[in-house]
């Protein structure tokens, strides 16, 4: 497994297990645990009250929030190193895959010179400059859907009809 694959797994794990999904579980007598959605123990505490308090505002919530800020480029911590362009692209790709609300902002950081979708603000990719999320026409200014039954050519029925003269011999 390459370093970039490990980094992508780390980002995916981080954003898939936010503190609002953490729960408190009894492990044993006088032993309560904060558990994330992947069933990993975050921390243990002697009482349920202490575990509940730490689940909502404890040091591990702060650590998760700080790591999120670093990934999203909003950290003010001078100890955080700058992310490489490859890491920025990995973060943006993972956030798109997870349908995270911060995906568009991460994409703008990862691909500063790219063109972006007018509807969802994600980068247009591939030779036809199609949006990875929206199935809409790739004609500038047109936001018609592509579900016109005329096959997938990257254009809606109206724009494809206007382009017919380009394909006739």
**26-64 per-position pLDDT tens digit:** 999 999 999 999 999 999 999 999 999 999 999 999 999
Mean pLDDT of the chain, nearest integer: 82
Q: What is the pLDDT of residue 111?
A: 84
Q: What is the pTM of this model?
A: 0.72
User: How far apart are alpha carbons 53 and 60 in whole angstroms?
Assistant: 11
Four-residue CA torsion sign, 77, 82, 87, 93? positive
């Amino acid at each position: 497994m390459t370093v970039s694959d490990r980094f992508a797994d780390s980002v995916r794990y981080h954003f898939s297990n936010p503190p609002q999904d953490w729960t408190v579980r009894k492990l044993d007598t006088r032993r309560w645990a904060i558990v994330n959605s992947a069933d990993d123990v975050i921390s243990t505490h002697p009482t349920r009250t202490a575990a509940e308090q730490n689940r909502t505002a404890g040091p591990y919530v702060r650590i998760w929030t700080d790591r999120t800020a670093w990934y999203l480029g909003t950290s003010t911590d001078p100890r955080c190193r700058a992310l490489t362009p490859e890491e920025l692209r990995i973060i943006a790709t993972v956030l798109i895959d997870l349908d995270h609300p911060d995906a568009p902002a991460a994409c703008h950081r990862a691909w500063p010179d790219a063109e972006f979708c007018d509807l969802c603000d994600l980068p247009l990719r591939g030779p036809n400059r199609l949006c990875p999320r929206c199935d809409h026409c790739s004609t500038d200014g047109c936001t018609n859907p592509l579900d016109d039954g005329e096959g997938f050519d990257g254009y809606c029925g109206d724009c494809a009809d206007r382009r017919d003269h380009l394909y006739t011999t």
